[in-house]
Amino acid sequence: MQKSLYFCLFFSFFISTSSAPFFGKNPPEGKNYTNSNQVVTNVTINTSVAATFVNEIVNTFWIKLTEYAQEAREMLSNLYEYASNAPKSIFWRHKWKFAFGATAGSYSTLVGTIFYLRKELQQSTHWYFWKHNLSMEELFSIPQEDLSKELIFEIQRRYCNPNKPTDVFTPFALFINDIEFEKKALMTYRKIGDTLQKISVADYAFYDKDLKEQCEKWLERTVFFKSVFLHWLANYKIDQYLSKEQRCLRFISPLTSQEADKLDAFLYRPQYYYA
């Protein structure tokens, strides 16, 4: 590569020196120059030699460039082959270490998830602890309207923003989010227990079976409170719609018999079509 660069520099220097105009005192023999150093005789310049020389330089440069490209391609191919085969060889050489690391990581993740769920499910702020002194039979015996009013009051008490006391619907959205989170956490803990009990490793993962039985009751209470809220919300929407319709109809006077006849004549008039 350095030889090619030196050769190109030498060639450019040779062309520049040979093609530059002559400004010396003694012009070359056989050529007539004026005082302003301009050639006045017919000068025949042979460019075939220079063109051939340039073609040779270009061809040499192209050949060298092709060789370097081929070497680079082979080097990249070797690197790709090494990179693709290296992980396989490393894995098979240390397969037991990888297997132990994967097992230890999975076990640590499982135990960490179980401890997190155990701590999270026992938080007293969850909704399945609301009215914890009442059993499900006692909750069912309470009238639906009374229980829904108490639930709405409790939702407003927990989630109402003091800076926005008129915001009624944001507490409802927060209640639904918390209910869905609690439901998902309870179902996850139960599914983990079912899986561990099937493969008989629940005792080795520090899984609390008593808490799983309690999760069944908590899940039942969570679903019940959610259904009470949705039932109240449906009735609330119906009441709002009916009250809106009543407000609109309050400003509309009933039609007289003549107005009703005119309305029927207009609605059931014959239709005419023109070409």
Q: Is the pLDDT of residue 259 over 90?
A: no
Residue 37 token pair: 């150093």
Domain ranges of the chain: 2-20+41-93, 102-250
What is the mean pLDDT of the segment spanning 141-148? 90
Q: What angle do CA 110, 113, 114 make, to 5 degrees?
A: 85
Q: C-alpha dihedral over 67, 73, 79, 80, to 10 degrees?
A: -170
Residue 120: which of 208, 200, 198, 225 has the closest Cα?
Answer: 208
Residue 11: which of 42, 43, 50 has the closest Cα?
Answer: 50
**Residue 164, strand partner residues:** 161
pLDDT tens figures, 23-65: 444 545 544 444 444 444 444 445 555 566 666 776 776 777 7
Residue 148 CA to residue 164 CA, distance in Å, equals 23
Q: Which amino acid is at 263?
A: L
Q: Contact, 148 vs 228, CB < 8 A?
A: yes
Stated pTM of the model: 0.54
Q: How confident is the model at residue 189 (pLDDT cuts 50, 70, 90)?
A: very high
